[in-house]
């Protein structure tokens, strides 16, 4: 995901937008106990849209597998609020038979007619209707046309869909959308049906058989223009844009084919059946919905400015969507990866300078953030999930990967990334899972590396000074770590003397480290290759 201000790569919302979001999200976070008892195998969301009101008619069936003896199932579904927005449940079926339920405090509790044992499964069908307060954006696009777009990230689906919204509980999903003729509908997965069902409405059915986290399930309905941009291997890549942006949008989203091919060869086979790049009304700059990426409506300019945004969102198909962070505090496994892979895409397509420039910009962002936020990358104290959209998750996460690339070596690093994807594809992972894979491929103990960069706030602050030993015609470059926690890292300096220029490398892990240099040092350039996240210490 990228924030609304995607051009500058900032990862925070403006204060005004954020306050509104904080005010509406009061859904309780799904507790481990909810997920512990049940495993959702598939959701089938049937949603009827209309043009005269914002009321949606919902009929959703969840296929649930029980993991322990249980007498009821809890769904999150937003109840009506004072403004009249929210969902009203009309009835619930358990395996086709009416069953008892209650809907209070945004929790819909469905009682099982008889207690279920571990290994049993059930189809729970919920009929409901209402006006979504959020999660489904019903609005006019910039051309004044009415549109509908899911916008679930991070936990906003329950505003209009009954879900057991635990990040780790991935499920297959069907979207069956009934809408007036002038809408075209796009969603996750493959198109299985498009039928005119009466004089006014069309039914569109998209089916995704790869399990997804709820945060990236999505459908969009708008007067779209759609074209096949090309194929990445045998995967079709589509552009779905507003009809007024037919030419500009088709052109702006075309780089997606090149990006797909790039990641496919770098990381491994794309996890889904197709990719649609969709112009939308998402509140974000881009939202990486699985196989159905939503970009902000202003991402289309006709000037080909969306390439980095596209590269970021497509990287999420591998990391975030297919390999999903098991806990929100490990979100760097999603955003740090997408941020770094975008920079690598630029490096490998437009030259090494793109990597160094990108990493220097990221470093500036991280240092600025760290001045005011003494927080580690893995921060389990965050309660408002929107606060995860910060420089630690994105830019520092990217820096962790960049430094790991050096620590493990170029070929081990990419081998490790491929193996990590292969092993956790369509599943979930924690940072320790990633560490173990990288240790396996590199043969190195990376415990300290992962600890210091992910669990310790801040970064090395280095004071660099020179001393001259007149007798021996030697100089010393002294590097001193000024922060409290002493980091362990390889460090390069380029020194200029009367004898010429040379680059020296040593491992720093103590308070003071000395480089010995022949001759008189006239200049020291720290980290000439842009390989270290550090701050120059200023007195």
Instruction: Assess 293 for contact with Zn ion (CB under 5 A).
Output: no
Burial of 48 (0-12, 13-18, 19+ CB in 10 A): middle
Judged by beta carbon, residue 155 or residue 174, the one nearer Zn ion is: 155
Judged by beta carbon, residue 75 or residue 421, the one nearer Zn ion is: 421
Instruction: Choose one: 1-9, 81-89, 143-151, 361-369; the region binding Zn ion (CB under 5 A).
Output: 1-9
Please report, for residues 108, 118, 165, 204, 482, the alpha-carbon distance to residue 341 in angstroms, rounded to integers and kept in the order given. 40, 41, 28, 34, 31
CA 345 to chain centroid, in Å, comes to: 17
CB of 320 to Zn ion, least distance (A): 7
Judged by beta carbon, residue 384 or residue 469, the one nearer Zn ion is: 384
CB of 319 to Zn ion, least distance (A): 9
CB of 222 to Zn ion, least distance (A): 23
Judged by beta carbon, residue 44 or residue 335, the one nearer Zn ion is: 335
CB of 195 to Zn ion, least distance (A): 35
Number of residues near Zn ion (by CB under 5 A): 3
CA distance 329 to 61: 30
CA 135 to chain centroid, in Å, comes to: 17
Judged by beta carbon, residue 131 or residue 338, the one nearer Zn ion is: 338
CA distance 397 to 420: 16
Site string for Zn ion, 108-147 (x = CB under 5 A): ----------------------------------------
Q: Which of 332, 329, 310, 311 lies closest to 320 in space, CA to CA?
A: 332
Judged by beta carbon, residue 6 or residue 160, the one nearer Zn ion is: 6
Judged by beta carbon, residue 130 or residue 271, the one nearer Zn ion is: 271
Footprint (CB under 5 A) of Zn ion, residues 315-354: 335, 338
Instruction: Assess 1 for contact with Zn ion (CB under 5 A).
Output: yes
CA distance 423 to 470: 58
Judged by beta carbon, residue 73 or residue 212, the one nearer Zn ion is: 212
Nearest position to Zn ion, beta carbon: 1
Q: Omega into 154 within 30° of 0, i.e. cis?
A: yes
- DSSP per position, 236-275: EEEEEEEGGGHHHHHHHTTHHHHHHHHHHHHT-S-SSS-E
CA distance 147 to 182: 11
- Write the DSSP symbol of residue 306: -
Q: How many CA atoms lie within 13 A of 450 on its CB side?
A: 19
3-class secondary structure, 333 = helix
Judged by beta carbon, residue 166 or residue 321, the one nearer Zn ion is: 321
Judged by beta carbon, residue 170 or residue 308, the one nearer Zn ion is: 308
> What are residue 478's DSSP bridge partners?
465, 514
Contact 181, 152 (CB under 8 A): no
Judged by beta carbon, residue 141 or residue 289, the one nearer Zn ion is: 289
CB of 312 to Zn ion, least distance (A): 6
CA distance 250 to 229: 7
**310-335 b/e (C-beta count within 10 Å ≥ 16 → b):** bbbbbbbbbbbbbbbbbebbbbbbbb
CB of 389 to Zn ion, least distance (A): 9
- DSSP per position, 316-334: HHHBTTTEEESSGGGTHHH
Judged by beta carbon, residue 106 or residue 151, the one nearer Zn ion is: 151
CB of 484 to Zn ion, least distance (A): 32
Q: Mutual orientation of helices 352-372 and 397-408 as an angle, nearest 10°?
A: 130
CB of 44 to Zn ion, least distance (A): 28
Q: Are strands 56-66 and 38-48 parallel, antiparallel or unpaired?
A: antiparallel
CB of 317 to Zn ion, least distance (A): 11
Q: Where are the beta strands (DSSP E) in 381-530?
A: 427-429, 461-469, 474-481, 489-497, 500-508, 512-518, 521-526
> What are residue 91's DSSP bridge partners?
127
Assign residue 89 a region (left: φ > 0; alpha: ψ between -120 and 50; beta: otherwise): beta
Instruction: Assess 11 for contact with Zn ion (CB under 5 A).
Output: no
CB of 152 to Zn ion, least distance (A): 14
Contact 459, 485 (CB under 8 A): no
CB of 288 to Zn ion, least distance (A): 6
Judged by beta carbon, residue 1 or residue 441, the one nearer Zn ion is: 1
The residues of the shown chain that bind Zn ion, judged by CB under 5 A, are: 1, 335, 338
């Amino acid at each position: 995901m990228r924030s609304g201000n995607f051009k500058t790569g900032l990862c925070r919302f403006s204060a005004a937008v954020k306050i509104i979001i904080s005010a509406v999200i009061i859904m309780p976070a799904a507790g481990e106990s909810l997920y512990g008892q049940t495993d959702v195998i598939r959701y089938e969301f049937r949603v009827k849209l209309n043009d005269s009101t914002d009321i949606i008619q919902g009929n959703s069936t969840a296929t649930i597998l029980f993991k322990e003896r249980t007498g009821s199932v809890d769904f999150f579904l937003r109840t009506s609020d004072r403004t009249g927005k929210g969902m009203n449940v009309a009835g619930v079926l358990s395996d086709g038979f009416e069953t008892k339920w209650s809907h209070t405090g945004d929790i819909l509790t469905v009682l099982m007619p008889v207690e279920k044992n571990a290994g049993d499964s059930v189809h729970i069908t919920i009929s409901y209707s209402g006006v979504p307060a959020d999660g489904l954006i019903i609005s006019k696009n910039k051309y004044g046309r009415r549109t509908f777009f899911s916008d679930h990230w991070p936990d906003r689906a329950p505003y209009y869909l009954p879900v057991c919204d635990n990040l780790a509980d991935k499920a297959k999903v069907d979207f069956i959308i009934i809408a007036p003729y002038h809408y075209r509908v796009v969603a996750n997965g493959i198109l299985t049906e498009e039928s005119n069902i009466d004089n006014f409405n069309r039914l569109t059915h998209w089916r995704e058989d790869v399990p997804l986290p709820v945060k990236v399930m999505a459908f969009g309905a708008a007067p779209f223009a759609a074209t096949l941009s090309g194929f990445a291997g045998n995967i079709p890549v589509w552009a779905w844009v507003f009809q007024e942006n037919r030419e500009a949008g088709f052109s702006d989203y075309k780089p997606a084919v090149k990006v797909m091919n790039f990641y496919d060869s770098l990381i491994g086979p794309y996890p889904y059946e197709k990719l649609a790049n969709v112009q939308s009304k998402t509140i974000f700059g881009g939202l990486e919905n699985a196989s159905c990426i939503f970009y902000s409506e202003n991402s289309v300019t006709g000037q080909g400015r969306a390439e980095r945004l596209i590269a970021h969102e497509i990287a999420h198909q591998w990391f975030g969507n297919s390999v999903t962070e098991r806990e929100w505090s490990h979100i760097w496994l999603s955003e740090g990866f997408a941020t770094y892979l975008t920079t690598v895409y630029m490096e490998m397509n437009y030259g090494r300078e793109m990597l160094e420039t990108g990493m220097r910009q990221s470093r500036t962002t991280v240092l600025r953030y760290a001045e005011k936020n003494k927080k580690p990358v893995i921060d389990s104290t965050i309660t408002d999930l929107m606060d995860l959209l910060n420089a630690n998750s994105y830019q520092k996460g990217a820096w962790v990967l960049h430094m790991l690339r050096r620590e493990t070596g170029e070929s081990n690093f990419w081998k490790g990334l491929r193996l990590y994807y292969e092993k956790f594809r369509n599943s979930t992972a924690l940072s320790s899972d990633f560490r173990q894979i990288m240790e396996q491929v590199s043969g190195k103990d990376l415990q300290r590396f992962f600890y210091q960069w992910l669990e310790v706030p801040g970064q090395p602050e280095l004071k660099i000074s020179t001393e001259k030993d007149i007798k021996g015609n030697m100089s010393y470059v002294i590097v001193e770590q000024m922060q409290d926690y002493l980091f362990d890292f390889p460090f390069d300096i380029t020194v200029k003397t009367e004898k010429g220029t040379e680059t020296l490398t040593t491992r720093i892990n103590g308070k003071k480290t000395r480089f010995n240099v022949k001759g008189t040092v006239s200049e020291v350039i720290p980290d000439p290759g842009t390989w270290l996240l550090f701050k120059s210490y200023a007195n």
